[in-house]
Amino acid sequence: MSEAMRKPETNGAPPVISVRGIDMVFLKKAPGVLDGLARRAGLPRPEPVGVHALDGVDLDVMKGEVVGLVGESGCGKSTLGRVIAGILDPTAGTFRFHGREMSEMSPQERYRAKVAVQMIFQDPFASLNPRKRVIDIIGEAPVVHGIVPKAEISDYVDEIMLKCGIDPAFKQRFPHQFSGGQRQRIGIARALAVKPQFLVCDESVAALDVSIQAQVINLFMDLRRDFDLTYLFISHDLGVVEHIADRVVIMYLGRVVETAPTAELYANPRHPYTQALLANMPRISTEKQAFGQIKGEIPSPLNPPSGCHFHPRCPFAFDRCVAERPRLITKAPGIAAACHLLEEAAR
Amino acid sequence: MSDVRGGAAQPTLVVEGLKTHFFTEAGVVKSVDGVDLSVSRGEILGLVGESGSGKSVTGFSILGLIDQPGRIVGGSVKLNGEELTTASPKRLRSLRGDRIAMIFQDPMMTLNPVLKIETQMIETLQAHIKIGHAEARARARDALGRVGIPSPEERLDSYPHQFSGGMRQRVAIAIALLHGPDLIIADEPTTALDVTIQAQILSEVQTLCRETGTALIWITHDLAIISGLADRVAVMYAGRIVETGAIAEVVSNPRHPYTYGLIGSVPSRNKRGQRLTQIPGMTPSFLSLPQGCAFAPRCPNADAKCLEMPELSPCPSAAHRARCFHPMPEGAEA
């Protein structure tokens, strides 16, 4: 891919997707009638217990850009993907599509904005309806959304299947007749069929074998060129993200801890968590790797540590980290990290 | 059987010509079809392959854990010189958990959800040696401490569901280590874990093997893990080993086109933004394996000669061997 292809053209246009201050709290138990009555009467009730899956997350994705979203289990990366894909409604925060807030849009515009953002899932076995034929899996949505007339759907599905590398002769088959890699291609074809501008790929290559994974990653890169797509690529695999993304966002327990252009982030990680992730990333080399520089486990998001969420595992933590939440500090355009050390160093 | 180390000491495990076939209604599935392996004291052997390459069945065959309709139909498995394929079930039972241990991908598979960790560990100890409860508990506690579980004394009284995924896998490793086995077979033990937790476990396993002299076979699909962990590697494809050698040698100079393609398909820094080398097609079904070399239909170098099965031959030396008539040129960067 040429250098020009990789550079997203901004030209001052607003980002395709822009979210600000997104909070997502999953309550353990939904508030009941009693809670409602008590609140109205001004009586104290116990605070509802909830998981703070996203805690004030900001994210911009420019047109044509591939943003890699990286983090370990429970960091909220999938939740953020689902919020952006419109599957979950956030507890708080604003969501702008091409610079316009969702709530300002007319119902028709909002509907179109939602169709323009599609999602590709991790498990190619669970994400396809086992009782539907491929032609219906791919062809149903474009007919429902009025993108393609019903009479032309068969040819349209052929075209999309070819683009995704599946033989259109198989369109009368059921999902169980395909291998994992082919099923993932069907999932991609289904998402592309409604002509989206933006794809959220949630661990979309994690379940595939290495050689099949390479085929699907290549497909993602071809489709980006052919359909002028923008991706939010969610993954725990730092190698895959390094390969495909233009910019990387690292999350830890519901917060963004660092964001930077890919080459910069991998060459010069600023947050201690990013440094630990990169040091522990298995890579093909001829030398033995020293693993395990980071101690401890990921804390439960039900009861996150105070201050900086990473401080119990951080080798550089000092008293301020326990008390105060670090802000995301912009070190250079497009490069930001949330760590008190950066502020102390700047002083 | 050539051993890379070429050491005078006898290897802990020697597998020769192992064949495990499954006799299904659809036909004979030759999951393992003539596998040779050896692993010595303190050595880590990586067994790499994609789904359906027969790598896990190889592991199960070594332990004699093949159920109907499968059967070991040929070859030999020797642990410290003792033949296991013809050993009695009673003898195998006394070896498993004592001299050979296995760690599985999902620790919930090895742990009983309704028993305390203490019960499960003491049971393992008492199955093989005569030992009192108090002494067994002390040994169990030490084993937990060795794999990095904080406050092992209290954790003995916990149930598996009270542990996180990484901690459960540590418990499974502690149980495998209880009797100081000569050989551990680990089947994708870190695949389900997060990067930082995986790294902790890899580092502990490395240290433990070095300290105790346990031989380890690490089965995985991830060449990157193996390249950082193992001493030697064996790459499997469709039930056979297609390339084997010292890890640095195989990674820097892959000779079999499959290994070459596999290394090329791993996304990494130097290939950023470029197309990944892709191996066309997919792994063949065991029920309809192509004639001769099973990789030939996906291979860029294949020709008429590949309709015969190549031998695992020195390429270039006896320490680095590949099963191919047309190996990649030496020094071909993947």
DSSP string, B265-307: HS--GGGTTSPPP---S-PPPGGGPPSSSTTGGG-TT--GGGG
- Pairwise CB contact (< 8 Å): B276 & A297: no
B3, exposed or middle or buried, with CB in 10 Å at 0-12, 13-18, 19+?
A: middle
d(C-alpha A216, C-alpha A201), whole Å:
12
Average pLDDT in chain A:
88
pLDDT band of residue B3 (cuts 50, 70, 90) is: very low
Instruction: Name which of B196, B266, B272 is nearest A277 (Cβ-Cβ).
Output: B196
Q: What percent of chain A has pLDDT over 70?
A: 95
pLDDT grade, residue A195 (50/70/90)?
A: very high
Interface contact B246, partner A, CB < 8 A: no
Average pLDDT of the residues in B210-230: 91
Centroid of chain to Cα A146: 28
Distance from CA of B90 to the nearest CA of A (A): 38
Whether B72 shows a pLDDT value over 90: the answer reads yes
**What is the reported pLDDT for B6?**
42
Interface touch B228/A280, C-beta < 8 Å: no
Average pLDDT over residues A185-207: 92
Percent of chain B having pLDDT more than 70?
Answer: 95
Q: How far is B18 from chain A (nearest CA, A)?
A: 25
CA B202 to CA B225: how far, in whole Å?
A: 9
**Residue (of B91, B9, B33, B51) closest to B191 by Cα position:** B51
pLDDT above 90 (res A12): no
Q: What is the pLDDT of residues B135-166, one digit of tens each?
A: 999 999 999 988 888 888 989 999 998 888 88
Which ranges of B115-220 would DSSP assign to H, the alpha helix?
A: 117-128, 133-146, 152-155, 165-177, 195-212
Cα(A254)–Cα(A67) distance, rounded to whole angstroms? 17
* Probe site for chain B from A284, A286, A294 (most B CB atoms < 10 A): A284
Q: What tens digit of pLDDT does each residue of A17-66 get?
A: 999 999 999 887 666 777 777 777 777 766 667 788 999 999 999 999 99
Q: Are A268 and A309 spatial neighbours (Cβ–Cβ below 8 Å)?
A: no
Query: Do A153 and A191 form a contact (C-beta atoms < 8 A)?
Result: no
Q: Residue A336 pairs with which residues in a beta bridge?
A: A259, A330
The class that CATH gives domain A3-245 is alpha beta
- What is the pLDDT averaged over residues B239-257? 93
Confidence check: pLDDT of B212 > 50: yes
Of A30-44, A239-253, B172-186, B213-227, minimum mean pLDDT range: A30-44
User: For position A5, what pLDDT does the model report?
Assistant: 40
Q: Are B296 and B273 in contact (CB under 8 A)?
A: no
pLDDT score, position A3:
39
| Domain map (residue ranges) of chain A | 3-245, 258-281+305-347
In angstroms, the CA B223 to CA B251 distance is 9
Q: Rounded distance, CA A157 to CA A168, Å?
A: 8
pLDDT in the model for residue A281: 87
Residue A286 has pLDDT above 80, yes or no: no
Q: Do A223 and A163 form a contact (C-beta atoms < 8 A)? A: yes
What is the band of A98 on the pLDDT scale with cuts at 50, 70, 90?
very high
In chain B, positions 108-127, which contact chain A (CB-CB < 8 Å)? none
Does the model's ipTM exceed the 0.95 cut? Answer: no
State the DSSP H helix or E strand holding residue A248, giving kind and residue range, or none if neither: strand A247-252
State residue B48's pLDDT score: 94
A258-265 contact pairs (CB < 8 A, 24+)? A258/A336, A258/A337, A258/A338, A259/A328, A259/A334, A259/A335, A259/A336, A259/A337, A260/A334, A260/A335, A260/A336, A260/A337, A261/A334, A261/A335, A262/A68, A262/B272, A263/B272, A264/A335
Residue B86 has what pLDDT?
Answer: 92
C-alpha closest to that of A344 among A311, A309, A319, A315: A319
Name the residue facing B228 among A179, A276, A291 (closest C-beta).
Answer: A291
Q: Which residue has the higher pLDDT, A187 or B210?
A: A187
Give how far B180 is from chain A: nearest CA, Å: 23
**Separation CA A176–CA A147 (nearest Å):** 28
